[in-house]
Structure 1
Amino acid sequence: MFKYTVASDAATQQVGAAVGRLVQPGSVIFLQGDLGAGKTTFTKGLASALGIQQYVKSPTFTLIREYTAGRIPLYHMDVYRLENGGGDELGLEEYFNGDGVSVVEWPQFIEDEWPTEYLQIMINKSATNDEQRELVFQPHGQRYEALVTQLAQML
């Protein structure tokens, strides 16, 4: 586990970009945190590091947004609306085992669909500073342990 504190949205995007430089095809990242914690902000930074020029916005109503014009495709998912089930109908396994990077917001709602290896990132808002966030990186699998080790050295 690795913890890192940021003091602004720009810093959150910079950490996302650092992760974006380290991911490989087939990477799965689960983002957890309250509404407004910075999950999409983090994803914007990751997308920029992948060379994605499109505007990245939360896929709350579409569930999945695909950005394919970068060095690795980005599959940005917001599964909050699946709180009562239904993730098995989306073909998530194809995304998780595919050629892109899957970033999933609110992954607890599709826990039955999780792969065995992934990077879980908890974004916690500060109780005393509206801009400050603590990012907690929890790797699951050797690939993600190596990624987090590299990330810790970069930041």
Structure 2
Amino acid sequence: MSNTAPAGFQHGITAAAARTIVDATLAKGRELGLAPLTVVVLDAGGHLKAALREDGCSLLRPDIAWGKAFGAMALGFGSRELARRSTAMPGFMNALSDLAGGRAVPVPGGVLVRGPDGAVLGAVGVSGDASDKDEVCAVAGIQAAGLVPDTGDAA
């Protein structure tokens, strides 16, 4: 039996790329001496592609990582921009939170994954240390997979 997707189904990030992203993200965290991390990779449809919670992570880290990636996918930009908008437009963020069922986490650490052509392939969320450090690890993981990170800041 073939292990290929039926014709017409495009999911963005491949399983191999998702595994590379997870492994490289966690390796960057170990290199930097960060607290234990959780990494979530979502595909282009916002569905779970891969996730790993390092030993020692606290209870809600997977939900926070998912929320960072989900927020990036929901609005089409990295969660660093989502954080800026939450400060500048609290009413909008309240509405987004209601519409998303509270799933969008508006802090750095949610990074869109783009292909070389700029197409959005999915998103990565990282939680465990300070949000800025989580983001550094996500960027390293995405780059290790040969893909383009979009944090919400201009390149």
Normalising to structure 2: TM-score of the pair? 0.31
Normalising to structure 1: TM-score of the pair? 0.31
- Which has the larger helix fraction? 2
- Which has the larger strand fraction? 1
